[in-house]
Amino acid sequence: MAFTLPETFAKLPRHPLSYPHSSPIHPLPTLSSFLRTSNPKITLFAKREDHSSPLACAGNKYRKLEYIVPDILSSKPQHNEPGYDGTPTTVVTEGAIQSNHTIQVTSVAKQIGLEAVAILHKGTGGGLSTSTDKSAFLRTGNVQIARLLGADVRMLEPGSTSGGRDPVASIMAELKAQGKVPYWIPSGASLHPLGGLGYARCAFEIAAQEKEIFGGNGRFEYMFVACGSGSTVGGLIAGFKLLDRIDANNGMTKPPRKVIGVVISPTKPREWHEGRVLNFARRAGDLIGLDGEKDITMDDVRLDFRFVGTAYGVLDPQSREALGLMAQQEAVVLDPVYTAKVARGAMHWVQEGEIAREASSKDEVNALFIHTGGQAALSAYADVDQVE
Ligand SMILES: *Cc1c(COP(=O)(O)O)cnc(C)c1O
Closest C-alpha among 216, 267, 213 to residue 1: 213
Residue 181 has pLDDT above 70, yes or no: yes
Do residues 48 and 172 share a domain?
A: no
Q: Say if residues 60 and 49 touch (Cβ distance below 8 Å).
A: yes
Residue 246 has pLDDT above 70, yes or no: yes
| Mean pLDDT along residues 221-247 | 97
Q: What share of the chain is helix, strand, coil (3-state, %, to 5)?
A: 40, 15, 45
Do residues 238 and 358 share a domain?
A: yes
Domain boundary among 189, 218, 237: 189
Q: Does ligand 1 have an atom closer than 6 angstroms to the CB of 377?
A: no
Boundaries of domain holding 249: 7-54+193-380
| Mean pLDDT along residues 82-95 | 97
Tell me if 251 is assigned to some domain: yes
Domain boundary among 149, 172, 189: 189
Summarised one tens digit per residue, pLDDT across range 26-77 is: 999 999 999 987 789 999 999 999 999 999 999 999 999 999 999 999 999 9
Do residues 90 and 209 share a domain?
A: no
- Please list, residue by residue across 358-383, b when 16 or more beta carbons sit within 10 angstroms of its beta carbon and e when fewer do: ebeeeeebbbbbbbbbbbbbbbbbee
Pairing label, strands 41-48, 90-96: unpaired
Query: Does residue 363 or residue 200 have the better pLDDT?
Result: 200
Do residues 147 and 236 share a domain?
A: no
Q: Give me ligand 1 centre to Cα 112, in Å.
A: 23
| Mean pLDDT along residues 89-102 | 98
Residue of 272, 283, 338 best suited for mutating to test ligand 1, as the one with most atoms within 8 Å of CB: 338
| Mean pLDDT along residues 156-171 | 84
Q: pLDDT-derived band of residue 159, with 50, 70 and 90 as boundaries? A: confident
| Active-site residue, from 23, 32, 99, 190 | 99
Do residues 287 and 331 share a domain?
A: yes
Residue 387 has pLDDT above 70, yes or no: no
CATH number at residue 164: 3.40.50.1100
Summarised one tens digit per residue, pLDDT across range 292-315 is: 999 999 999 999 999 999 999 999
- Give the atom of ligand 1 at the shortest distance from the alpha carbon of 50: 13
Do residues 310 and 273 share a domain?
A: yes
Do residues 217 and 336 share a domain?
A: yes
Domain boundary among 161, 189, 217: 189
Please give the pLDDT value at position 358: 87
Do residues 158 and 76 share a domain?
A: yes
Residue 161 has pLDDT above 80, yes or no: no
- The domain tally of the chain equals 2
| Mean pLDDT along residues 190-198 | 96
* Mean pLDDT over the full length of the chain: 95
Residue 162 has pLDDT above 70, yes or no: no
Q: Does ligand 1 have an atom closer than 6 angstroms to the CB of 102?
A: no
Do residues 87 and 112 share a domain?
A: yes
